[in-house]
Every structure is written in C-alpha cells, then in structure tokens.
C-alpha cells in the first residue's frame, strides 16, 4: 500500500554539476532526502515499466538513503530497481548498468572525493537514460519542484542489500546485482586482457590505491584476479564508510603514501589511485607524476593499442581549463578537438552524437564513449 507523507520544502536543494551535496547532518533531517528524491521522481521522464538503478560509494548514510529510495521507487511506479550489492556501485559502473539494462535513469549516492563519515559529506545525483549526469534542463526542473514539494510517497518493505537476488516491494521487482561483474566484463571487451596478463607474467608491476573507497572491489577483481597482478597490488581496497578517516581525493597530498612509493628505489612500473566514487584518477610512473592534462593526451595518442579503439578515434574532447596537450594529439591524428565547459554532462552530448571518443577534464577525470561518466579505473 502506498503511503503519502506530507512535507514542506527545504531551502537549498539546488543540484550542482554533480547533484546535491551537503553535510550528512543536513541529509539526516527528517524528510530531507525524501523531499529531494520525490522531486526527482516527480519531474524525470520515464516510460511505463521503467527500471531505476541505485548505488553509491559506500560512504556513511548510503544504506539508509538507498533503503528509502527503493521504497519510494515502488510508490512512484517503477517496475524494477537494480541496486549494487551492499549498495555499492562506482559512478562509471552505475552509468554502465543504466545503459546495459535499458534503465530510464539512476540515483548515485556519493559526494565524490569529499570526506565521508557522520560529520562529513553526502550527496545524491540523478543520471539519465544515456548513463550520464542529468543535463541542466532536468536539474533546473528538479530544483523547481523542491521549492513547492508538499508530499513524498513510499511503500513499506525491506531488501537485504548484502544478498544477490530478486525480491519484491509492492508491485516492483528489486534485483540486488553483483556490483563489479558487469563493469569488469566491459573492461575485458575494451582492453586486451591476454596481452596485459602476459606482461604481468613477464614482470610488469603496479600499485593501486583504492583509498578505502568504492574502487577497491573493482580493482581486486580486475587487477589481481583477472589480470594476475600479485595479491597486495591493491592498497586500501576495502570500502569504509569514512574512507578510513582519510580524504579520498587522488592527488599528491592525499595519496602521498603512493607518491612516496613511486618515487622510491622500490617503485613498481605503474602507480594509480582513484577517488571516493571511482570516477577520477591519479597516474604516477616510476619517478614520474603524470598531470591530468598529459594523461588525457597520452591516452588519446595511444588508444589504438586497445582493441576498442583500434579503428581510430572520432574526436577528443576536453574541458576549457584543461591544457592544449590533447589539441596537439588531435591535430597529429587529423581528428576534431572539442572544448567544453567543466562538467561531464557536456561531454555526453558529443559522445551521444558520435563526435568524440576520448574525453578529459582538469580535475583528473578521463573517460571514453564506453560510459557517460569519467572513469578512474578505466
């Protein structure tokens, strides 16, 4: 039975480039998260029988809001919800799941690289059917609805987020899915895993710092199990609600332990880290720090070595503050270079139109047309 709960608007629920981000204490106000989620459901487009993807980066308060979001989806006419086991889905993995299963959109619960814990940050972002962040027309409509919202709806029911399987809340099916499998399979389609495994067998070494954030399970599965890097290659690989008390921002300050290792005589060939929700990256060679701008240019210049990009790139896109290194690669390859405002949603238009293949921005984010988000582990 659908329950309707009266509410009044909360001030300041305007989504930014990456959704609504506030302190946990703000989201813990009775009805606060519910008012925002209901505003999303009230305005977004979805066909009859629509599916919704829900997942997050594992930070404090994720499970509470995910449980409520599932109950609310059941009351708002969704036919199916796909949720990552334990409530875990990296942002690029959520984008892939939306696209793979034809969902009408998804709720991603994350505050990206911001700290987590009872006194830290929380966030909710809505992604549309192409797997990318909601464009400004949608976020403006959501905000307008938050200013007049007068009720939210739910159906009573509980889901065991830790058990993969199917259950029912009201008329809606809830599928708890493996958080990693679909994404890991996608990576095998893009890259030559046999060649990488052979290189690992011949001595290629690396260190990956998951920063006690969402990419730990993904890195364990892909790097250690599927590619054969030694056990222990992944550091800080268990997601924690407070990220171990650290700031999950992959830069030279917060990933200092990795940096020091890579600058030492005992450094492996490659060092990398990813942020809270798995969409940003840090890349360090043995004794060499790679800037985000150079990372984009190097990826584009060498993309043809991976099977998914062997046929060439349709174009390169970069944010305005990102350096022109990629422009020189585009010129050398004879392909277009597109400059956009900061915000991954602007790349989505180019990717959907088939005008770009590799994208990157100044904040250590790079990705390709395999999803509609930046992708740190990719």
From 39, 95, 112, 295, the catalytic residue: 112
Rounded to a whole number, what is the distance in angstroms from the first to the last CA of the chain? Answer: 43
Packing angle, helices 181-190 and 91-100, rounded to 10: 90
For residues 112 and 122, give the distance between their C-alpha atoms in angstroms, rounded to a whole number: 9
Q: Please give the backbone phi and psi of residue 272, each rounded to the nearest 5 degrees, phi first.
A: -150, 155
* Short-list 74, 80, 65, 2, CA closest to 34: 65
What does the DSSP assignment read for 239-294? Answer: --TTGGGS----STTTTHHHHHHHTSTT--SEEEEE-TTS--EEEEETTEEEPHHH
Q: Please give the backbone phi and psi of residue 343, each rounded to the nearest 5 degrees, phi first.
A: 130, 120
Residue 16 DSSP label: B
What are the CA-CA distances from residue 47 to residues 40, 79, 182, 195, 338 (Å)? Answer: 15, 10, 24, 43, 33
Active site residue 264: no
The answer to whether 104 and 50 are in contact (CB under 8 A) is yes
For residues 14 and 30, give the distance between their C-alpha atoms in angstroms, rounded to a whole number: 18
In what helix (H) or strand (E) does residue 3 lie, and over which residues does it extend? strand 2-6
Interacting residues of 353 by C-beta distance below 8 A, sequence separation 6+: none
For residues 67 and 166, give the distance between their C-alpha atoms in angstroms, rounded to a whole number: 15
What does the DSSP assignment read for 63-127? Answer: HHHHHHHHHHHHHTT-SEEEEEEEEE--HHHHHHHHHHTT-SEEEEE--TTS--STTSEEEEEEE
Mind telling me the catalytic residues?
Answer: 112
């Amino acid at each position: 039975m659908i329950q309707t709960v009266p509410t009044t608007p909360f001030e300041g629920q305007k989504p930014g480039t990456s959704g609504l981000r506030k302190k946990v204490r703000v989201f813990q106000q009775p009805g606060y998260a519910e008012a925002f989620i209901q505003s999303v459901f009230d305005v977004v487009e979805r066909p009859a029988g629509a599916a919704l993807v829900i997942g997050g980066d594992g930070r404090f308060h994720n499970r509470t809001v995910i449980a409520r979001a599932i109950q609310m989806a059941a009351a708002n006419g969704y036919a199916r919800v796909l949720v990552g086991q334990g409530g875990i889905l990296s942002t690029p993995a959520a984008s892939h799941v939306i696209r793979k299963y034809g969902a009408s959109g998804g709720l991603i619960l994350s505050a990206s690289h911001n700290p987590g814990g009872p006194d830290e940050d929380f966030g909710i972002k809505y992604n549309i059917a192409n797997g990318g962040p909601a464009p400004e027309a949608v976020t403006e409509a959501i905000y307008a609805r938050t200013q007049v919202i007068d009720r939210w709806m739910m159906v009573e029911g509980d889901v065991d987020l830790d058990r993969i399987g199917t259950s029912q809340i009201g008329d809606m099916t809830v599928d708890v899915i493996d958080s990693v499998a679909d994404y890991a399979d996608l990576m095998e389609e893009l890259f030559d895993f046999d060649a990488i495994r052979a290189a690992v067998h011949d001595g290629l070494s690396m260190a990956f710092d998951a920063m006690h954030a969402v990419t730990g399970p993904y890195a364990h599965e892909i790097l250690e199990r599927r590619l054969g890097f030694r056990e222990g290659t992944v550091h800080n690989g268990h997601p924690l609600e407070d990220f171990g008390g650290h700031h999950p921002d992959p830069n030279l300050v917060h990933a200092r332990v990795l940096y020091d290792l890579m600058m030492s005589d005992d450094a492996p060939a490659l060092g990398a880290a990813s942020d809270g929700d798995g969409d940003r990256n840090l890349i360090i060679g043995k004794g060499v720090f790679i800037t985000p701008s150079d990372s984009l240019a190097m990826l584009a210049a060498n993309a043809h070595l991976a099977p998914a990009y062997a046929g060439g790139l349709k174009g390169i896109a970069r944010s305005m503050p990102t350096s022109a290194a990629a422009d020189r690669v585009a010129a050398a390859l004879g392909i277009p270079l597109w400059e956009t405002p900061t915000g991954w949603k602007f790349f989505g238009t180019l990717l959907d139109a088939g005008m770009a293949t590799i994208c990157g921005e100044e904040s250590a984010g790079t990705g390709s047309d395999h999803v509609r988000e930046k992708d740190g582990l990719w």
